[in-house]
Structure 1
Amino acid sequence: MVDRANRPSALSAPGASDPEAQVDIVGSGSSSKVIATLPSGESVEVLLFGATVTSWKSNGGKTENLWLSEKAVLDGSKAVRGGVPVVFPVFGPPPKEGHATSALPQHGFARTSRWEFLGKSTSEGTADSNSIKLDFGLYTKGLSEEARKAWPLDFGLVYSVTLSKDSLQTVVNVRNEGETSFEFQFLLHTYLKIQDISKIAINGLGAVEYVDKVLDATTHKQSDSSITVTGEVDRVYKSIPQDTTSVVEDGKPRFDVVRDNLQDTVLWNPWIEKAKAMADFSPDDAYKQMVCVEVGAVQGWQKLEKGEVFEGGQTIKSLL
């Protein structure tokens, strides 16, 4: 097992007299979801299909921070459009041939597999009734026959979703449980809910190289310290030196997205034509109310030898 420095910070255990978060499992089969609610009203919902976070409410439960399409499919028949889908073990279309992921669909199988709810937990430390951690697992035995055939490698994923009053932390732990090494990519495809894309600025990516998929995957360097979205954007910012990417709306801080042990960030908005072309993107003009700031390890490949572990994730802070 490989230990790494700067692991995501531990949560505090609630004291005996503190009110505790409520955790419920609702629905059945592929529609099952886990809902956690803090005593102060903040909540998070995680669909077991894909371990997809479909809702995160802060500000006492009054403010929804994630965008979810009105036509998002939540019955386990396809990946969810919106929320926080988990991309693993390949980002985007896989290599055409000669790679372990070549037979997989775009974005891999994690977002289209049913995960196991491992339970709620707290960590050592001082008393804190204002946070709860939910753990989800996906293992080789839990894959569909099709996915197992396409990627016949032994692995284990543990996905931890931690709800606090003003933040949501999502961390993936990847373990090689087989005899041979494997390579993978990983991304958290976060859809942030905003009021108006024309009033949004993205900060923290200045002087960073990016691959622009709208411009035939050519490489550019971000010259402006503040990015505005005025058309379709699909960029992979790589090897970012600082940890935080900030979303500012109408001149006021809205979100801080803090990467942990991840070097890349994808910025995505489909804009008018692509939004209309996606059957599960609704309403058509909802591109105005969302922006994807997606942390990951997607430039090149992460390699794990037998028994090794990789861990990385994000903390999103709601600044309202």
Structure 2
Amino acid sequence: MQFGTHGNLEKHGFARNRLWLVDDNPPPLPVNSGIKTYADLILKPSEEDLKIWPHRFEFRLRVALGPKGDLFLTSRIRNTNTDGKPFSFTFAYHTYFSVSDISEVRIEGLETMDYFDNLKGKERFTEQGDALVFESEIDKVYLDTPPKIAIIDHEKKRTFVLRKDGLPDAVVWNPWERRSKTILDFGDEEYKHMLCVEPAAVEKPITLKPGEEWKGRLELSAVPSSYYSGQLDPDKVLHG
């Protein structure tokens, strides 16, 4: 998760590096959700956190599993400042996917989308082609993306489907061969078997007044081989 891009914060914020507590007062589960297994966590700023980002907040995260193994992530961030000050932040779920071979993977749902290319000074472009495929390093932020994105793994005959709400953007990253060798905790060949697709709110930071709350949600599921190799059913996956 990326939480904040202001002041002295590190690149991906500090929420991912903090100790979360079990939430004793979580929001109720939706009626007829079918979810039986879940955990509710909460993060509040420490005095040290306030020195680098001087705003009080409550960050609630629900991690839930559906009956078929689908993963649901729901984040709620509330401004609890008592000084009347609003704050702004950006957000991303850092979701990494295991794939058979990055050269055999394609993404559908981002075609024709505008994006910022972080490898070209954050210059803005428009994606071309019918789907996104991988032949070299990529680090892009796609803007105003659809609520569903599909990652199609031809060799594994499996498609990951991302359904998102409150997260208009999507970061796509793979370091490829040269960059992989410069990352200390990343194996030289591991880029071949991973892909990072992060539902995010990056282009337009979220601003909350005291007492206001923002909610973002991500659902991850895997569907079988009938949806791979260009045979993606748009009614069931991208538009259903």
* Structure 2 Cα separation of the partners of residues 190 and 127 of structure 1: 23
Point out which structure has higher relative CO (alpha carbons under 8 A, 6+ apart).
2
Cα drift, residue 204 of structure 1: 0.2
The match for 1:133 is: 38
Is residue 59–residue 78 contact of structure 2 (8 Å, CA) maintained in 1? yes
* Alpha-carbon spacing, 1:171–1:181, altered in 2? closer, same or farther (3 Å): same
1:237-275 CA distance string (max 9 Å, x none): 0111x2111011117442001111110000000111111
Normalised by the length of structure 2, the TM-score is 0.85
Question: Which among 290, 303, 316 is matched to residue 194 of structure 2?
Answer: 290
Amino acid at match of 1:213: N
The match for 2:74 is: 171
* Structure 1 Cα separation of the partners of residues 92 and 120 of structure 2: 22
The match for 2:55 is: 153
* Alpha-carbon spacing, 1:267–1:127, altered in 2? closer, same or farther (3 Å): closer
Equivalences for 1:24-103 in 2 at 5 Å? 86-90=1-5, 101-103=6-8
Residue aligned with 1:198, SS: helix
Normalised by the length of structure 1, the TM-score is 0.65
* Alpha-carbon spacing, 1:228–1:138, altered in 2? closer, same or farther (3 Å): same
The match for 2:205 is: 301
* Alpha-carbon spacing, 1:149–1:121, altered in 2? closer, same or farther (3 Å): closer
* Alpha-carbon spacing, 1:181–1:248, altered in 2? closer, same or farther (3 Å): same
The match for 1:249 is: 153
Residue aligned with 1:104, SS: coil
* Alpha-carbon spacing, 1:124–1:299, altered in 2? closer, same or farther (3 Å): closer
The match for 2:96 is: 191
Question: Which among 6, 21, 29 is matched to residue 123 of structure 1?
Answer: 29
* Structure 2 Cα separation of the partners of residues 226 and 131 of structure 1: 36
The match for 1:83 is: none
The match for 1:46 is: none
* Alpha-carbon spacing, 1:294–1:288, altered in 2? closer, same or farther (3 Å): same
Cα drift, residue 287 of structure 1: 0.5
* Alpha-carbon spacing, 1:157–1:121, altered in 2? closer, same or farther (3 Å): closer
Runs of at least 5 residues in structure 2 that lack an aligned partner in the other structure: 225-240
Question: Which among 198, 201, 207 is matched to residue 106 of structure 2?
Answer: 201
The match for 1:180 is: 85
Amino acid at match of 1:151: W
The match for 2:185 is: 280
1:97-131 CA distance string (max 9 Å, x none): xxxx2211111110111111226997354494x64
Is residue 194–residue 290 contact of structure 1 (8 Å, CA) maintained in 2? yes
Runs of at least 5 residues in structure 1 that lack an aligned partner in the other structure: 1-85, 91-100
Equivalences for 1:206-221 in 2 at 5 Å? 206-221=111-126
Is residue 50–residue 56 contact of structure 2 (8 Å, CA) maintained in 1? no
* Structure 1 Cα separation of the partners of residues 96 and 123 of structure 2: 24
Residue aligned with 2:189, SS: helix
